[in-house]
Structure 1
Amino acid sequence: MREEQSTSVVVPGMDAFTLEHNLKFKRQLLQHVFDNALESIIVTNANGIIERVNPAFTQITGYSAEEVLGKTPRLMQSARHDPDFYRQMWQQLLQHGSWSGQVWNRRKSGEVYLQWLSINSLTNARGEVTHRVAIGHDLSGQRSLEQDRTPFTFKDPLTQLGNRQLLATRLEQALAEAQRNKIRVGLMVLDIGRLKPVNEQLGMTWGDDVLRQQARTLQAAVDEADTLVRLQGDVFAVLRHSKAEDATMAQLADKLLNLLAQPMVLADKNIVCLQPSIGIAVYPRDAREPENLLQAAEYAHAMAKREGRNRFQFVDQRQHELHHRELIIEHSLSHMLSTGEAQGISLHYQPQVCSSDETIVGLEALLRWTHPRLGRLSPVEFIPVAEQSGLSVRLDRWVIEQVCAQVSAWQRRGLAPPVVSVNLGAQQFSQPDFGDWLMSTVSAYGLRPRQLRLEVTESTMMEQIEAGVNMLQQLRECGFALSLDDFGTGYSALSCLHRFPLDELKIDRSFMVEACEHERAQILLCTIMALARQLSLSLVVEGVEQAEQLALLKDFGPLRVQGYYYYKPMPVDEIWPLLDLAAGRPEGEVLN
């Protein structure tokens, strides 16, 4: 953008009078625009000294022209931007001749307001900067007008604060500015605490009154430049657009806790004592995307509540990363179970071998997961996530269907596969339809119940003995084989063992490890085996990985053993050849 030159351009057919008239009209037009623009306009010289301002500038800032002429725009700075912000602004102005972005400025009254500012340089014919023009749009006034016009979009009707939609909009804008200007943004999620007893004891009307009072308390406590919204229920959020250092965020959190925890006297003379909790997340340390920053603050808030309330909690980055990882796992599991897309999940099978003749007498179906984002996941990590998220019932049934389909495929190939063991989670026992569903599924694939062995852990049985016993009895009557997994590692409730309708005990690998190193552990292993025989239960020994471990078992007669000494868990395409050989025909030969 270049300054108008004073030299006259002679147009053929245009006399000096007409030319002067046109220039005068143009000057009047520019003056009219300058005087009536809704945006504030500041004109400075090349050194940044203010030479002209328009009436909108006075209306927006409160400063008259006489108060600012001869001074610099630093007069309006809010101190909410660090020196780097202005250094980068000037660097861009010098390099490109223009700059635009959001700026926090201060009115003469001291009020801080948000402004969209565009600065352009004017140059002469030699390319030298002679003036700069700054045009500012008052965003606080615009946003207030938008909220008044669309109260059900951006405003919470109960507290008259902003709502989640407003926070999403402001958060996106704040992070964009923070990224551009390399500043920190803070986000608090807080609840006033113990509102439910107020609603239950005094009624929803008084509960709403408490929310309105606490909203006014919060509004008076936060800075005008902050964004305060009600997310839901008694949960609020405070967005600090700049200067979100840990110390200042902690000071604000401590201040809010003290204010919100003050006893409240309601109109009916009831006194209410609340227990607020606050979670704090900071951009860019804790997250770089708006939704992730909110998620981090919500997680920190949950941690503060879990630690006993009346406290604030910054994001524990390690715990937050674990939580985020769990959310990815949960989402992927849910997507897989809803759509049938495997997401890298597959079944491996580990053979169980007869110790006397080394023939394969059983298989255990085991979940394996190579996640597209997280890589290889252990069942120790994703099975607890499935249980905590309520997905374990569906996951168990998905595994059973996959096993039934695979056994059916083996049979169509002409094989007689050994019994396949499938693990059941604790939540399956609370499903009254499980027995009927299982029978229907097995029948649909043309299988018999005895072709499946259902494994339950000792801890699962002890958590719900009555329901567990009833469910197992029903399954056994249907013809399914039942196994108690990880025996001796949980409750070891021998007094209840006789009540469980079992066919098999499965001895955990930890016993084999200890028995090779300690004589007392070896005696305990022998005792468990003798107990199983007395109860007419078959035995499977897990974790047999070395020849000396197998040698310890030679005096106990034929046993089923499972471990890396014989086979690791293998995908289906590696199990096929083993079953072919077990059937007594050359590997790869297919029966028609």
Structure 2
Amino acid sequence: MGLRMDTSSPALSRDETRRLLEALMDNSLEGVTVTGPDGRIEWVNKAFTAITGFAPEEVLGQTPRVLKSDRHDEAFYRDMWQSLAENGRWEGEIWNRRKSGEAYPEWLRITALPDDSGRLVRYLAVFHDLTDLKRQRDMLLHEAYHDALTGLPNRHLFLDRLGQALRQSQGQGRHVGVVCLDLDRFKTVNDSLGHVTGDIILSEVAQRLAPLMRQADTLSRFGGDSFYLLLDALRDPEDAAHVAGRALACLSDPMTVRGEEIYISASVGITISPADGHDPSQLVRNAELAMYRAKDAGRNNFAFFTEDLGERVMGALRLENDLRKALARKDFVLHYQPRVDMLTGQITGMEALVRWSQPDGGLVSPADFIPLAEETGLILSLGEWVLEEACRQTALWSAEGLGALKVSVNLSPRQLEQPGLTGRTLALLERTGLPPEQLEVEVTESVFLKDFGMVSQALSALAEAGVGVALDDFGTGYSSLAYLKKLPIKTLKIDKSFVDGLPLDRDDAAIVTSIVSIAANLNMDVVAEGVESSAQLEFLRRLNCCSSFQGYLFARPLAASEFALLMARGGYYDFKDHLK
């Protein structure tokens, strides 16, 4: 097929040719801009206005900078003008800005137009809007890497992100967790209630799981009723177990779907890199195998791929579960270690130490459960109980005539971070009848790493009310003399690790002597912990500035009844029996 022209018609005049070209450009779907050699706009077509939102009268006489989006640097425009100068044309993708302020992408072709002598007289710019094209491309990319039903990343995107996480974790000591969650008996639900109901359930599961994810994590659906979780930068494998537990918990509430109340559970498998490997596909298989182990164990639970790791984590989780039950049942008791005046030998107070009472009559040391209580936040309720019980018992002993003993109670960093600590403590003292002067709170140097302003405010308020403040384990953590000056600390406690080497270890002797000297200069009392021999006690007494001591040389931590009996017998340590 060819284009037949009527050669009998007279040639077009210059004006007719110009009008024809203007009509062609004005009806084009592409935007057209004509500028002078100085870059000022002389003419635009209708498509220019449709795309940019600018009417001709708003841009005529202006330069194309009126469309500048600020998404490109000066080098971009410098290369553009260099190409126009050298080649007479430039073509490429550029971001401009509409009159509305919206930035948009366009494909732009600029051509330099010379006259017959070669002198530049015009620039012709032709462009088309790429917004719809990019939107369609983004939609295609999204569909290629996301699940159509839930909108979650699919297997391809999950494996890609997992590969990136594994590469970034190498050499950094971080763990990467892969969790496989498979709904229990979902096929039965799907077959009995229909695929529409099944799709609604799957979408609801995705919505419930999504809030459990951190920004660096990925929740994915591979297809069917299997969901995979990528847990990046885990501090400890136990963190993955906590996520799995929360995932099971969030699915435990019934779903109401099309008028039916449906209960859904899941089986979860967990694998951890680098312990279980570094290959993304292998880790996915590991998690799936662990998930089937969870199903074989009865469903609605989780299992680890590595048996040893799984046993350790499961042990910690069982301990946490037992700890929660023990708090509800109040399966805790306080033991009291006497604090003895270094000069008189008189018991002046005691440190309250919590023990976990077991059904068989045994006691669990705080070293075995306090770190877990700190991590899980259970320390808040446990610490509240310890504080009240210690104050209640001390007030009772005072009422029984055993003396105005001062009880020392440890406060955890988590407790110090809680608003209203001072108010709750003073209310507790009033409730138990213990004067503030008979309570001392012990803090460790780790509080220096917390919100120092909040810690200082809380301790100062307690001190103003008459409560004593002691710094425990001084010298073992983040000691700073500036903090001793800023905090209302009345007592320094020398850690047992420094007392152990006395008097033979020269370093320990020097450290203890320095601590005692610092305390004396700051008008603070000193308590030596862990005194177990007469030689240690004699060394401390010779320093003259050590106020009191506690340790097995005099008494281990005692049950309340044993401590009361000790006080009833006089509550006195006879130095003559031990010192020569």
The alignment's TM-score, normalised by the length of structure 1, stands at 0.51
Does the Cα contact within 8 Å between 2:268 and 2:290 map onto a contact in 1?
no
In 1, Cα distance between the equivalents of 2:555 and 2:190?
A: 67
Picking from 318, 331, 336, the partner of 1:349 is 336
Match of 1:272 in 2: none
Question: Contact between 2:534 and 2:553, CA under 8 Å: does it hold in 1?
Answer: yes
Match of 1:278 among 275, 282, 287: 287
Q: Give the Cα separation in 2 of the matches to 1:251 and 1:535.
A: 56
Deviation at 1:374, TM superposition (A): 11
**SS of corresponding position for 1:526:** helix
The 1:512/1:152 distance shift into structure 2, 3 A limit, reads farther
Q: Verify: 1:147 aligned to 2:201, yes or no.
A: no
Residue 290 of structure 1 pairs with residue 290 of structure 2:
no
- CA distance in structure 2 between the aligned counterparts of 1:356 and 1:417, rounded to whole angstroms: 18
Provide the residue aligned with 1:538 in structure 2. 525
Give the 3 Å change call, closer, same or farther, for CA 157–402 of structure 1 in structure 2.
same
Matched with 2:378 is 391
Deviation digits for residues 79-106 of structure 1 (CA, Å, limit 9, x no counterpart): xxxxxxxxxxxxxxxxxxxxxxxxxxxx
SS in 2 for 1:428: helix
Name the residue aligned to 1:215: 223
Counterparts of 1:41-52 in structure 2 under 5 Å? none
Contact 1:516–1:522 (CA<8 Å) still a contact in 2? yes
- Whether the 8 Å contact between 2:502 and 2:535 is mirrored in structure 1 is no
Alignment of 1:177-192 (within 5 A): none
User: Is 1:335–2:335 an aligned residue pair?
Assistant: no
Asked whether 1:365 is paired with 2:363, we answer no
Distance across 2 between alignment mates of 1:564 and 1:526: 22
Indicate yes or no: 2:580 matched with 1:576. Answer: no
Q: Which sections of structure 2, spanning at least 5 residues, go unmatched? A: 1-184, 228-246, 252-264, 270-275, 573-580
Size of the alignment, in residue pairs?
347
Q: 1:436 aligns with which of 415, 423, 445?
A: 423
Measure, in 1, the Cα distance between the counterparts of 2:370 and 2:350. 20
Asked if structure 1 preserves the Cα contact closer than 8 Å seen for 2:268 and 2:291, the reply is no
- Corresponding residue for residue 254 of structure 1: 281
1:532–1:539: 8 Å Cα contact kept in structure 2? yes
Q: CA offset at residue 456 of structure 1? A: 0.3
**What runs of 5+ residues in structure 1 fail to find an aligned partner?**
1-141, 164-189, 199-206, 220-229, 241-248, 259-276, 298-313, 585-592
Output one character per residue of 1:53-90: Cα deviation in whole Å (capped at 9) or x when no partner. xxxxxxxxxxxxxxxxxxxxxxxxxxxxxxxxxxxxxx
Q: CA deviation at 1:577?
A: 1.3
**Superposed displacement of residue 578, structure 1:** 1.5
CA distance in 2, matches of 1:468, 1:161: 43
1:407 aligns with 2:394: yes
- Structure 1 Cα separation of the partners of residues 397 and 452 of structure 2: 36
TM-score normalised by L of structure 2: 0.52
Render the CA deviation track for 1:118-169: whole Å, top value 9, x for unaligned.
xxxxxxxxxxxxxxxxxxxxxxxx9856533335999452648999xxxxxx
Letter of the 1:150 partner, please give it.
L
SS of the residue 2:442 aligns to: strand
- 2:181 matched to which residue of 1? none
Cα deviation for residue 323 of structure 1 reads 2.5
8 Å contact 1:505–1:532 — kept in the other structure? yes
Partners of 2:490 and 2:524 within 8 A in 1: yes
Aligned partners of 1:350 and 1:365 also within 8 Å:
yes
Secondary structure in structure 1 of the residue aligned to 2:569: helix
CA drift of 1:572 comes to 0.8
| Structure 1 counterpart SS, 2:369 | helix
2:482 to 489, 495, 501: 495
Counterpart of 1:479, as a letter, is: G
Inter-partner Cα distance in structure 1 for 2:499 and 2:278: 56
Q: 1:543-590: CA deviations, max 9, x gaps?
A: 100111112112122630110000000101101112212379xxxxxx
Q: Does structure 1 residue 320 correspond to structure 2 residue 310? A: yes
Q: How far has the Cα of 1:250 moved from its partner?
A: 9.5
CA contact (8 A) 1:369 1:378 kept: yes
5 Å matches for 1:500-579?
500-557=487-544, 559-579=547-567
Give the Cα–Cα distance (whole angstroms) in 1 for the partners of residues 440 and 214 of structure 2. Answer: 50
Taking the aligned partners of 1:420 and 1:159, their CA distance within structure 2 comes to: 56
* Alpha-carbon distance between aligned partners in 1 of 2:510 and 2:298, rounded to the nearest angstrom: 60
In structure 2, distance between residues paired with 1:482 and 1:162: 50
CA separation in 2, counterparts of 1:529 and 1:491? 18
Q: For 1:373-404, what per-residue CA distance to the aligned partner results, in whole angstroms no more than 9, with x for missing partners?
A: 89542211211111111111111110011112
Residues 290 and 553 of structure 1: CA distance in aligned 2, closer, same or farther (over 3 Å): same
Q: Which amino acid aligns with 2:281?
A: D
Q: Partners of 2:203 and 2:514 in 1: how far apart?
A: 71
Shift of 1:450: 0.6
Measured after TM superposition, the shift of residue 350 of structure 1 is 0.3
Aligned-residue CA RMSD in angstroms? 4.2
Shift of 1:412: 3.0
What is the alpha-carbon distance in structure 1 between the residues aligned to residue 404 and residue 536 of structure 2? 27
Aligned partners of 1:159 and 1:215 also within 8 Å: no
Contact 1:353 1:361 in 2 (8 A): yes
Partner of 1:91: none
Secondary structure of 1:347 counterpart: strand
Query: Counterpart of 2:306 in structure 1: which amino acid?
Result: V
SS of the residue 1:514 aligns to: coil
1:555, 1:372 → 2: CA distance? 46
The alpha-carbon distance between structure 1 residues 541 and 315, as it changes in their structure 2 partners (threshold 3 A), is same
Q: Is 1:218–1:256's contact at 8 Å kept on the other side of the alignment? A: no
Identity %, equivalent residues = 31
